[in-house]
Amino acid sequence: MLRKRNILAALIILFFLFQGCAGSSKSSVSRVKAQEGPSGWYWDDSRKALAYGGGEKPKTAGQTRTEKEIAAVREITLSADLTPRTASPGLQTPSRKDYIRARFPGKKVIFPDEIKVFAKKPEYKVGIDDVLSILVWNHPDLSVPGVIVRRDGMISLPLIGNVKVEGLMVPEIEETLKRELSRFLTRPQVTVNPKEMNSQRVFLVGSIKKPSVSTGPLLPIYLLKGGNTLLEALSDVEFYPESDLMAAYVGRGDTVIPVDIRALLMGGDLTQNILLEPGDRIVVPSPLKEINILGEVKSPAKYKVRMDTTFLDALSLAGGVNREGADMYTAYVARSKQIIPVNLKRLLDFGDMSQNFFMEDGDIIYVPNNEEKKYYVLGEVTKPGVVYFKDPVDVIEAVAQGGGFLTSAQRKQVVVVRGDLRSPQIFDINLLAMIEGKSFGRFALQKGDIVYIPRTAIADWNVFISQLVPTAAAVALFDMIIKR
């Protein structure tokens, strides 16, 4: 009997022990489940806003702890042939000839190597405003020491009156005058000498310090003589140090002939030594463009640059990039309403000349600091803009820093763009799943990340990136200008 009682007591003790263990195990699992829920930012459906708090987030209707967790983050791969469209307009560097043609819209542009070369220079033909000396042998009363060719191309002489001389060479004028005078004289002898060849003027315009000949402070000219070449016209001309000799050109009516005077005078490039014609205008401009170079360069400032200054030339003017402090992947050029990303690593270390394009007037070059920890919150948030941070930041906190979602926000598809803007990493994040506890994963931001909250679901990722990148860079530029 005692044996039976001992056995029964032992069974009762074991029963309670098993019940206690089972109860303890169930309680532990519950606590773990509770801890896995978000203890920071979460979406409060009752207030329709992000909230912060410890412990367990209120469950939405129909949600249980045993719901299956879903993957909230996926990386998007862009098609290889569909790079962001912001880069293409500025980075498709045109040839020098195409670039120069674009400077003169509506004009016919002919380059020196396209001009037909004549075996000998054209003979001098009398033109309007020329002054001629007319000598009639043994008849001083009929001789004229200086007669001006009028606008109608005629000259007036004693006895014979008006004679058309414009467009005639000197021997032709002599024969014409002999013929006219032979009506009154027997075998007249006539000599014509050009006294002033004003019709042969070539005008020198622009950044010229000392013209060869001057008829006044506003009219520097050169009178064609000898070989009538550009080199002869410039033989006694002085230029200002800032003169953009490579951007010079000759204007001939509606035609423009670009000439590189620097190559002609300093490099001996005789292909630039064109034959001039009366009325040509040699134009030597001052630096046509002004750009700003900011950020991690040795001498950030505003610079006046020449016509064909490239991105690399501009960096050289600023003393080059501060390699230790520069972010080599996210530099960019702000041009009007366009943003052109530049990968300095590819340009400087690998010689990728697709990154080296011509500068335009008003361009702003910005080289960011690699220690500057900031990200961008854009799209359907209350306060879009630049956010600076020190400690690690979760994407949910980033949205909170942006003031929270607008009611129009697409919370199931928050986008993070990371890295080189020409070939970025793109992450599609179901932030709603994270907020509601359906996904317990987190997504930590890195410096330079762009967090974008769209209004509607994104159908074409390539179009989306082409529209997003200039917006983000413009926000960064605005932020940089405000800080200066």
Per-residue pLDDT of the chain (484 residues; tens, 9 = 90+): 545 555 545 544 444 444 444 443 333 222 333 333 344 545 555 554 555 454 444 444 444 444 556 667 777 665 544 333 343 334 455 677 888 888 888 889 999 988 876 556 677 889 888 999 999 999 989 999 999 999 999 999 998 999 999 999 999 999 999 999 998 888 899 999 998 888 888 888 888 876 554 444 445 666 666 557 888 888 778 888 888 888 899 999 899 999 999 889 888 888 899 988 888 889 988 887 889 998 899 999 989 888 878 899 999 999 999 988 888 887 888 887 677 888 898 899 888 888 888 888 889 899 988 777 788 888 888 888 888 887 888 888 888 888 888 888 888 888 888 876 666 788 888 888 888 888 777 788 888 888 888 887 776 666 666 666 556 655 555 555 444 4
What is the reported pLDDT for 118? 59
Residue 333 phi, psi (nearest 5)? -115, 125
What is the reported pLDDT for 459? 63
- 109, 224: one domain: yes
Give the whole-angstrom CA distance, residue 382 versus residue 460.
25
**Where residue 155 sits, what CATH number does that domain have?**
3.30.1950.10
* 59 part of a folded domain: no
> Would the CA dihedral through 56, 57, 58, 59 be positive or negative?
negative
Give the whole-angstrom CA distance, residue 65 versus residue 160.
119
**Nearest by Cα to 235 from 211, 205, 203:** 211
Query: Domain end: 267, 284, 301, which one?
Result: 284
**Nearest by Cα to 472 from 367, 386, 414:** 386
Give the whole-angstrom CA distance, residue 91 versus residue 212.
42
3-state secondary structure of 448: coil
* 148 part of a folded domain: yes
**Where residue 239 sits, what CATH number does that domain have?**
3.10.560.10
* 48 part of a folded domain: no
**Nearest by Cα to 237 from 257, 265, 256, 215:** 265
Token pair recorded at residue 78: 């862009």
Total count of domains within the chain: 4
* 273 part of a folded domain: yes
What is the reported pLDDT for 469? 58
- 313, 454: one domain: no
Asked if residues 249 and 256 have their Cβ atoms less than 8 Å apart, the reply is yes
Token pair recorded at residue 422: 């020409």
Asked if residues 142 and 157 have their Cβ atoms less than 8 Å apart, the reply is yes
Residue 395's H or E segment, with its range, is helix 395-401
- 434, 293: one domain: no
DSSP 106: T
Residue type at 454?
P
Give the whole-angstrom CA distance, residue 300 versus residue 305.
14
- 188, 207: one domain: no
- 114, 224: one domain: yes
- 388, 355: one domain: no
- 444, 383: one domain: yes
Asked if residues 475 and 385 have their Cβ atoms less than 8 Å apart, the reply is yes
3-state secondary structure of 338: strand
What is the reported pLDDT for 249? 93
What is the reported pLDDT for 63? 46
What is the reported pLDDT for 37? 39
**Nearest by Cα to 34 from 56, 54, 52, 67:** 56
- 192, 204: one domain: no
What is the reported pLDDT for 28? 23
**Nearest by Cα to 340 from 319, 322, 356:** 356
What is the reported pLDDT for 365? 92
CB 297: neighbour CB atoms within 10 A?
23
* 440 part of a folded domain: yes
Token pair recorded at residue 386: 């630049």
Query: Domain end: 263, 284, 305, which one?
Result: 284
Name the pairing type of β-strands 414-418 and 425-429. antiparallel
- 295, 413: one domain: no
- 350, 414: one domain: no
CB 269: neighbour CB atoms within 10 A?
15
Beta-strand ranges (E) seen in 238-337 are 238-239, 249-252, 255-258, 281-284, 289-295, 301-305, 331-335
pTM of the model: 0.51
The residue behind tokens 């702003």 is 364
What is the three-state SS of 141-185?
CCCEEEEECCCCCEEEECCCEEEECCCCCHHHHHHHHHHHHCCCC
* 354 part of a folded domain: yes
- 305, 454: one domain: no
CB 337: neighbour CB atoms within 10 A?
7
Give bridge partners of residue 144 from the DSSP assignment: 134
Asked if residues 127 and 279 have their Cβ atoms less than 8 Å apart, the reply is no
Those residues with Cβ within 8 angstroms of residue 43's Cβ, 6 or more apart along the chain or in another chain: 49, 50, 51, 411, 432, 435, 436
CA atoms within 13 A on the CB side of 42: 21
End-to-end Cα spacing for the chain: 97
Token pair recorded at residue 70: 């879903």
Query: Angle 43-47-50 (CA atoms, 0-180°, nearest 5)?
Result: 30
* 68 part of a folded domain: no
* 61 part of a folded domain: no
Give the whole-angstrom CA distance, residue 274 versus residue 259.
8
Token pair recorded at residue 365: 């070059």
- 183, 300: one domain: no
Q: Which domain holds residue 277?
A: 104-120+200-284
Query: Domain end: 341, 367, 393, which one?
Result: 367
Query: Angle 92-97-98 (CA atoms, 0-180°, nearest 5)?
Result: 45
